[in-house]
Amino acid sequence: MRKEFNSLAGSGAMVAVVGCALLASASQAYADGSSFPPPVRSQLRYDADYPTIAYGEKATQNAIARLQEKLDRGEVTLKFEGNRGYLDSLLAALGIDKSSQILVYSKTSLQIHVIDASTPRAIYFNDHTYVAWLQNSDMIEIMTMDDQRGTVFYSMTNRERPKLTLDRETSRCLTCHDTYSMAGGGVPRFMVMSVLVNTEGQRIGSEIGAETTDASPIPERWGGWFVTGDVGKQTHKGNILVRSAAELANDKPESRMNLSTLEGLVDTKPYATNTSDVVALLVLEHQATVHNFVTRASFKSRTLLGRSGVPETTQRWSELPPELHKRLRPLTEPLVRALFFVNAATYSSEIKSSSGFDKWFEEQGKRTRDGRSLRELDLKTRLLRYPLSYLVYSDEIRALPAPVRDHVFNRIADVLTGQDRDQAFNHLSAEDRTAILQILKETHPELSAVLRERDPGMGGGS
């Protein structure tokens, strides 16, 4: 495994992407319909590093655990249909829209031998759960956010069977989906990477793969991905279909930009849609970044608070000793900045969806009486019209230890009310701050309460 890519090695090439990954040496083709090997239980470094998290124990506070309970009670059934098996039914049960489909053709996941540019891996997602499906495979990979245990991994056998189980994965996925490769001090994480690969999904050229975040310039994104949608005059590294580095020298970026569908590049009939949407990719990258900061803040702050003997009943940041403030701020501040899109790359041309994902995404938002929402997309120069992440409403942020959550919400209030004048937040105009404040007052009870506590005239809404 080449750790600089933080992902799965396959014939010397790899690209990380959300999903359960494993060392290539432990992978098998499994394209002949044989069963995927059962999950492996082992002693986790996390259980020593973060005993308060109990990562190796059963995860119950997430969408997959809740779905399993409904399956067990017979409240939900999944239907096996056609070549995608349980996929369509699973997505519907999880509230994931097919328009979120994005396709990656690097050799990743446990099934590296069935991934290439002709059979890319499909990923579907909503605000907290990611589902990956492959042709010629009897296994669906799933990642989700658990309120207590952060990023957790599951697999599901995609063969028709009378009883369905969503099996928790630990060690195998964490071989790659860990900040420091299980060497200690790491946390489980989502990853979205970009690296140039050939049509076999193997890395080409001398470029080393890079993690893609909000800060990544558009021209540096999406190596190894299919990309549909309009990016205007911008270029990116998606849709590069070459067999060698020599062919790469003759690449004409303009010929692979602004595709409405993938027709002509790959046979999309086996997939849920014929797109791999650029707006979905932008949203995915933002979410992964924020989720990783939430997990890091949760793991490390719970551990610090536990070791410091802070009572679990502690609710306010002000109740913590100054020494803990000093140690916790490096965990909370990156999260606050990610929520505000600090250092996010700007777009030089308007970006447009090709799948309808943009409309579906916006429809999910909490709205004010006059119809405004933090999920309104901009796509002209930035991702969101109002640059505070919609993930501020998420269960995983609400599940942070109470004094840590209190501090995060007060830091958000500091920035929006101008009490924090750090230049890092200069991308927020006065109009942005006013609009975000008004939206939060009507749609976010906890933040509304923080604002009202500071100034009784500022609170409002529900």
**Residues 94 and 238 placed together within one structural domain of the fold:** yes
**Residues 227 and 342 placed together within one structural domain of the fold:** no
**Is the pLDDT at 151 greater than 70, yes or no?**
yes
pLDDT recorded at residue 122: 97
Residue of 398, 165, 153 lying closest to 294 (CA atoms) = 398
Please report, for residues 141, 144, 275, the alpha-carbon distance to residue 104 in angstroms, rounded to integers and kept in the order given: 14, 19, 12
pLDDT recorded at residue 113: 80
pLDDT recorded at residue 191: 86
Q: Residue 3, Cα to own-chain centre: how many angstroms?
A: 20
Residue 298 is assigned to a structural domain of this protein: yes
Give the span between the Cα atoms of 415 and 421, in whole angstroms.
Answer: 7
**Residues 132 and 236 placed together within one structural domain of the fold:** yes
Tell me the average pLDDT across 386-403: 97
Query: What are phi and psi for residue 195, nearest 5 degrees?
Result: -155, 145
What is the number of other CB atoms lying within 10 angstroms of the CB of residue 23? 15
The one-letter amino acid at 26:
A
**Residues 18 and 120 placed together within one structural domain of the fold:** yes
Q: What range defines the domain where residue 435 resides?
A: 293-454
Tell me the average pLDDT across 408-420: 96
Tell me the average pLDDT across 188-199: 90
**Residues 382 and 241 placed together within one structural domain of the fold:** no
**Residues 21 and 113 placed together within one structural domain of the fold:** yes
32-46, 281-295, 346-360: the lowest-pLDDT one: 32-46
Query: CB neighbours of 254 closer than 8 A, spacing ≥ 6?
Result: 235
Cβ-in-10-Å burial (0-12, 13-18, 19+) of 106 comes to buried
**Residues 231 and 300 placed together within one structural domain of the fold:** no
Tell me the average pLDDT across 331-341: 97
User: Rounded to 5 degrees, what angle do the CA atoms 69, 126, 256 make?
Assistant: 140
The one-letter amino acid at 416:
L
Q: Which of 238, 256, 274 is the endpoint of a domain? A: 256
Measured over the CA atoms of residue 7, residue 10, residue 14 and residue 18, the dihedral's sign is negative
**Residues 53 and 174 placed together within one structural domain of the fold:** yes
Confidence of residue 105 (pLDDT cuts 50, 70, 90): very high
Q: Residue 127, Cα to own-chain centre: how many angstroms?
A: 8
**Residues 252 and 298 placed together within one structural domain of the fold:** no
Confidence of residue 385 (pLDDT cuts 50, 70, 90): very high
Q: Which of 198, 230, 256 is the endpoint of a domain? A: 256
Residue 267 is assigned to a structural domain of this protein: no
Is pLDDT larger for residue 283 or for residue 12? 283
**Residues 431 and 349 placed together within one structural domain of the fold:** yes
Owner of token pair 């600089």: 4
Per-chain mean pLDDT for the chain: 87
pLDDT recorded at residue 210: 82
Please report, for residues 378, 383, 430, the alpha-carbon distance to residue 426 in angstroms, rounded to integers and kept in the order given: 18, 17, 10
What predicted TM-score, i.e. pTM, was given to this entire model? 0.89
**Residues 302 and 252 placed together within one structural domain of the fold:** no
Q: Are 289 and 214 in contact (CB under 8 A)?
A: yes
pLDDT recorded at residue 312: 87
**Is the pLDDT at 10 greater than 80, yes or no?**
no
Is pLDDT larger for residue 178 or for residue 3? 178
Residue 181 is assigned to a structural domain of this protein: yes
Tell me the average pLDDT across 257-266: 96
Query: CB neighbours of 82 closer than 8 A, spacing ≥ 6?
Result: none
| The total number of structural domains that make up the chain | 2
6-10, 242-246, 272-276, 365-369: the lowest-pLDDT one: 6-10
Residue 417 is assigned to a structural domain of this protein: yes
pLDDT in tens, 266-311: 999 999 999 999 999 999 999 999 999 999 999 999 999 999 999 9
20-34, 259-273, 341-355: the lowest-pLDDT one: 20-34
Residue 101 is assigned to a structural domain of this protein: yes
pLDDT in tens, 204-227: 877 777 889 999 999 999 999 999
Residue 279 is assigned to a structural domain of this protein: no
Residue 272 is assigned to a structural domain of this protein: no
Q: Which of 239, 256, 273 is the endpoint of a domain? A: 256
**Is the pLDDT at 24 greater than 90, yes or no?**
no
Tell me the average pLDDT across 64-93: 97
Residue 402 is assigned to a structural domain of this protein: yes
Tell me the average pLDDT across 332-358: 97
**Residues 380 and 234 placed together within one structural domain of the fold:** no
pLDDT recorded at residue 296: 94
Query: What are phi and psi for residue 332, nearest 5 degrees?
Result: -85, -35
Tell me the average pLDDT across 78-84: 96
Query: What are phi and psi for residue 334, nearest 5 degrees?
Result: -60, -35
pLDDT recorded at residue 365: 87
Confidence of residue 175 (pLDDT cuts 50, 70, 90): low
Q: Are 415 and 452 in contact (CB under 8 A)?
A: no
**Is the pLDDT at 176 greater than 60, yes or no?**
yes
Could you give the percent of the chain with pLDDT greater than 70? Answer: 86
pLDDT recorded at residue 108: 66
